[in-house]
């Protein structure tokens, strides 16, 4: 029986922190499907710079990822209902409330667990593990 894992995020400017999250999520099961957030659903931080299809294609190209899809435009749980995963893997610093996710999964009859990936420490002083930090560095050096 295949153990399906779903990871999700914005993945605006891909960096080593994203890769760590997705590799750890992939290690939780047999198949990793990544749901890339649509711009309209990103309301907890700045809107993405890169178009959704570009972000999806870059994530899909990662070795750890079996398939990447764009999320639903109105209801973020629709793809989860359709994919019926065994695990939803959250990034260590994602803003999601695990209890609220578990309640919504139960309400919709989706039988899966929610797990968090671990943090990854920078390998060197100059390594940036945040899209925001990458953008800040670009602005600092190019302004």
For the chain, the structural domain boundaries read 4-142
Query: Which pLDDT belongs to residue 120?
Result: 87
Query: Which pLDDT belongs to residue 51?
Result: 93
Residue 4 annotated as binding? no
Query: Which pLDDT belongs to residue 143?
Result: 83
Tell me the residue length of the chain: 143
Q: 40: which DSSP letter? A: G
Task: Extract the runs of DSSP E, i.e. beta strands, from 1-143.
Answer: 4-9, 31-36, 67-70, 87-90, 113-116
Query: Which pLDDT belongs to residue 48?
Result: 87
Distant-in-sequence, close-in-space partners of 71: CB < 8 Å, separation ≥ 6:
8, 35, 36, 37, 38, 41, 79
In sequence order, the β-bridge partners of residue 87 are: 5, 113
CATH class of the domain comprising 4-142: alpha beta
Query: Which pLDDT belongs to residue 93?
Result: 85
- Global pTM value: 0.92
Query: Which pLDDT belongs to residue 23?
Result: 98
Please say whether the beta carbons of 65 and 32 come within 8 A.
yes
Residue 91 annotated as binding? no
Residue 17 annotated as binding? yes
Residue 93 annotated as binding? yes
Question: What whole-number distance in Å separates Cα of residue 124 and Cα of residue 111?
Answer: 40
The tens-digit pLDDT sequence of the chain (143 residues) is: 899 999 999 999 999 999 999 999 999 999 999 999 987 777 777 888 899 999 999 999 999 999 999 999 989 999 999 999 999 999 988 888 899 999 999 999 999 999 999 988 887 777 888 888 899 999 999 98
Residue 71 annotated as binding? no
């Amino acid at each position: 029986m295949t153990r399906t894992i779903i990871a999700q995020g914005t993945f605006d400017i891909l960096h080593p922190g994203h890769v760590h999250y997705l590799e750890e999520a992939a290690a939780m099961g047999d198949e990793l499907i990544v749901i890339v957030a649509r711009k309209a659903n990103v309301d907890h931080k700045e809107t993405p710079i890169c178009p959704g299809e570009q972000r999806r294609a870059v994530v899909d190209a990662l070795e750890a990822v079996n398939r990447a899809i764009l999320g639903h435009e109105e209801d973020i749980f629709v793809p989860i209902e359709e994919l019926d995963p065994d695990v939803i893997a959250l990034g260590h610093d994602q803003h999601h409330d695990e209890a609220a996710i578990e309640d919504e999964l139960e309400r919709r009859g989706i039988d899966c667990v929610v797990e968090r990936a671990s943090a990854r420490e920078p390998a060197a002083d100059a390594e940036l593990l945040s899209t925001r930090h990458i953008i800040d560095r670009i602005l600092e050096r190019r302004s």
